[in-house]
A and B are shown apart, each in its own frame.
Chain A
């Protein structure tokens, strides 16, 4: 009775339930499409084909996914420590400044493979420092991290606007952005990987930071489940009292976790800035930080789940763009509604179908839900 949700086999917990949630989200979205007078089945086909049908589509999907992997990991690292980092957006945005400084300084003198590591460090450091201030305020002053990180999003946005319409803008330019980078700050594309499989790609921004994102996903897994620091973060995240009992310093663990989270958020900026636009422009993050929250939740805070959820959201972005193009009745806002439904069913209503599935499993085989293990011989 103390565990109202008995255990399910892992494949059902991590595979079946998310799939059911996703399916229901699409069914409800289908009704919305029906409401505006379009055929939901055709819409679904366009969406999926737009995202995965052609090489270019796949490359775009993965490009968006790269961004979401970084922000999703950022949110997840903080969440494992019991902290809700809503500041991923601002941390990524301000990290663009660090990248701009490195790229504008070295893009004419260094090759990309030297600029890139410098830019990674710069993005991570700036993102981490931007997260440090709310973390310090939480740890030392008890200011709630949700409030302070939201406020820091606005501060970051204001600073970036000031810099991009002022000091960082080339004198003769009308556009609020830095000058375009030269070859020394352009990341190589990864489109050839998709072309290996025979697909054709016209032009797509998928670049090497996708591999960096995958590497980071692995490192986050290592950090959370295989290091002492990760153990301490999880302990604090589940129970601050237990952490105090275990002699874990609250100040240290909050600040460390938030700085790692900020560093991951900062690295997100590499993908659009160095991989695609080759400049730092106003609002280049465009909400990816907030999508990261949904990605992290849907991925159950596990790097593998986050990579999969990021690809799903990449698909919604890319396929959604195609859908808006093919079906004029469906605007970009409709895509946001569909995303919202996915978040609603996969995140907020995650456990809605759980009891039914559990009862179903229990009726087939009580052992599969751990009944005997729990009700068996207590000592």
Chain B
């Protein structure tokens, strides 16, 4: 085995009473791509933040290239040749690529020399690693994939030998992700070391040499990628066996439950986000909407659920019109049997400061079952919440615990339980498993299929292509506010990826 680029020995880190990292030992070999996987809250980001100098470990030792290193600030990390590409880019939007690259690393009081030097350096990096970017382009005009490339360039420009990438593919189309992986392989071939943090097991299998699995703050295993399987990794992450692919029978689609015609929605800035969209959802089918985040899916969901007012268009629910451009509000839609699991459960679907039982009536607090005159029927609400906790296996099982103290997956189950148990005719779900641990994903998918089999019309919007493909009976692809294609569940990832990137759409327009 090659010499270790980084060794972490006995790292511990606590936040208040929470132990985010416990006795972590990790060795990352030079010139390899090393994956780190784990559920949300497993401590991956904390560990990398310690390595990059954002946090200080409470105890333990870091060795870089065999030498003990004291990394107190990101500057120390950079000096040691460690670079980081964050999940959320740290770029100045209205600066050019060059300006962003030299930001903080200017070699002179006047910019001219630094820029000239950076320009030649960038050319060299582009040649060596295939990182083509126009050095004079303005960041905000670049697509996300290229912005990420600028982040990588920034790290390399600062002399990074070890590159840490935190969930790099979350914002990319499949094609962009493939390109990124080619770049990473190129970096590896040139002798750089890459650490890849992700929760997508398929990426790990595709590209890494070694993979380490974290669970609840501890490092549970390190495997050679070639000698492990997705199933084993999932089991290590969760601590038990999980079913990755949902099993489902054929859909028995019935009549149209929700018909959307020529719907147009603008965002708060007045930009058209949903552009003249039409589609139907029938009883007993799951329609999935795929697309890269930010192509109008969120606005579409908000409009259909009555949260955001549509500009124009007509919508029929159970054959009767519903005025989404005017008076319709979420309460009315709910009364008419349309339940909504919003994308943002932290601010929209739940009140995190509430007790669990209080959230289990949110939106249905007008229901006479939960009321005694103007008063809340506390007993009825709590008993109802307890029933849902049992039925949806929500943990911990305390209905009086503050919602913020539940894990992401359990919070999502609270929302799902509330919306599904109202027995709606139409269920609209945004990002059903975002920030949800692998174990709960399986449960949520099964529930959605069960809703379908009961004859409900289900609309699922997700940026996870795998999820869309495994759940949906029909897949609609959104790009730039329009539906650019409809495919069956058998569509390949490459085919959908091209649609998501707007390729076919652009060709058709030409």
Contact = CB atoms under 8 A, between A and B. Distances in A.
Contacts of A358: 16-17
A3 B330 contact: no
Contact of B17 (A6, A229, A231, A238): A6
A17 to B, nearest CB: 14
Given A228-B366, A242-B362, A245-B342, A2 B404 contact: yes
A1 B20 contact: yes
B467 interface: no
Nearest to B398: A373
A246 B376 contact: no
A189 interface: no
Interface stretch (B161-169, B272-280, B347-355): B347-355
Given A245-B307, A379-B439, A231 B358 contact: yes
B413 A234 contact: no
Contacts of A377: 395
A231 B365 CA distance: 8
B365 A227 contact: no
A3 B395 contact: no
A242 B349 contact: yes
A162 B97 CA distance: 65
Nearest to A363: B17
Interface residues of B, number: 57
B323 to A, nearest CB: 15
B400 to A, nearest CB: 12
B17 A371 contact: yes
B375 A226 contact: yes
Given A231-B358, A359-B17, A245 B329 contact: no
B337 to A, nearest CB: 14
A181 to B, nearest CB: 36
Interface residues of A, number: 42
B334 interface: yes
Interface string B376-404: 10100000000000000111101001101
A7 interface: yes
A370 B406 CA distance: 11
A234 B306 CA distance: 21
A228 B18 CA distance: 36
Contacts of B348: 239, 241-242, 244-245
Interface string A216-245: 000000100011110110110011011011
B15 A234 contact: no
A20 interface: no
A245 B405 contact: no
Interface string B472-509: 00000000000000000000000000000000000000
A378 interface: yes
A375 B365 CA distance: 31
A379 B15 contact: no
Interface in B4-31: 15-20
B395 A376 contact: yes
A366 B330 contact: no
Interface in B401-449: 401-402, 404-405, 407, 409-410, 413, 437, 439-440, 443
Contacts, number: 131
A362 interface: yes
A247 B405 contact: no
B409 A379 contact: yes
Interface in A4-60: 4-7
A245 B375 contact: no
A111 interface: no
A245 B396 CA distance: 26
A6 B375 CA distance: 31
Given A1-B46, A226-B378, A379-B439, A235 B351 contact: yes
B41 interface: yes
B204 to A, nearest CB: 21
A247 B333 CA distance: 9
A6 B358 contact: no
A379 B443 contact: yes
A355 interface: yes
B293 interface: no
B46 A379 contact: no
A227 B374 contact: yes
Contacts of A151: none
Interface in B261-280: none
A374 interface: yes
B376 A239 contact: no
Contacts of B41: 1-2, 378
A368 to B, nearest CB: 9
A282 interface: no
A369 interface: yes
Interface in A312-353: none
B307 A238 contact: no
B455 interface: no
B347 A241 contact: yes
B81 interface: no
B60 interface: no
30 contacts: A1-B15, A1-B41, A4-B15, A7-B402, A7-B405, A226-B378, A227-B374, A227-B376, A228-B371, A228-B374, A228-B375, A228-B376, A231-B365, A238-B351, A241-B347, A244-B348, A245-B305, A245-B342, A245-B349, A246-B363, A247-B329, A358-B16, A362-B17, A371-B18, A373-B398, A377-B395, A378-B407, A378-B409, A379-B393, A379-B407
Interface of A: 1-7, 222, 226-229, 231-232, 234-235, 238-239, 241-242, 244-249, 355, 358-359, 361-362, 366, 369-371, 373-379
Of all A-B residue pairs in the complex, the 4 with the closest CB atoms, nearest first, are A247-B331, A362-B17, A246-B363, A378-B407
Given A226-B378, A358-B17, A375-B19, 10 more contacts: A228-B366, A231-B365, A239-B351, A241-B347, A246-B365, A247-B334, A369-B17, A370-B405, A378-B439, A379-B410
